[in-house]
Amino acid sequence: ASAEAPAAATAAAATRPVIIHRAIFGSFERFLGIVTEHYAGKWPFWLSPRQVIIVPVSEKFAEYAGTVREKLHAAKFFVDVDWSDRKLNKKIREAQLAQYNFIAVVGESEAANGTVNVRTRENEVTGEKALDEFIAELGTLKNEFK
């Protein structure tokens, strides 16, 4: 029994470590780095993790904002809601800095009409749109990889 112990210790010490290298992971990381640099953080809609943010004008419209969020989420879009108590202009500016593709502002008029007031991250105001129309436009953007 004593003769086996040194042999086992010698065999363990002489075992060569094996490193498995997968080039695909390095390639994928390089790809993500190149794509991120190319878009400068302004991801196209179909690829963006921040597609739409809903900005209620005040707490009174939080319920409608939640309804809009549910409909957009059901249509398979990435949606957030700014529930903070900041001023409207501050909420919109924060959403632009966070690079959301679209900012949907909801207030009294939008809640009454079942619409959203849409603007882009470049501060282009496209105006009030029916929610179903907005969802259809987003679907087109996503399907056409824009």
Determine what percent of the chain is predicted with pLDDT higher than 90.
72
Q: Give the H or E element holding residue 93.
A: helix 88-97
Residue 145 has pLDDT above 70, yes or no: yes
- Residue 141 C-alpha from the chain's centroid: 15
| Cα dihedral across residues 105, 114, 78, 83: positive or negative | positive
At 89 the pLDDT is 95
pLDDT digits (tens, 9 = 90+) for 30-40: 888 898 899 98
6 or 85, greater pLDDT: 85
Q: Letter for the amino acid at 40? A: A
Per residue in 41-57, pLDDT (tens digit) is: 899 999 999 999 999 99
pTM of the model: 0.78
The token duo for 25 is 């992971």
| pLDDT score, position 55 | 97
Average pLDDT, the chain: 89
Handedness of CA 81, 84, 90, 96 (dihedral sign): negative
56-100, pLDDT tens digit by residue? Answer: 999 999 999 999 999 999 999 999 999 999 999 999 999 999 999
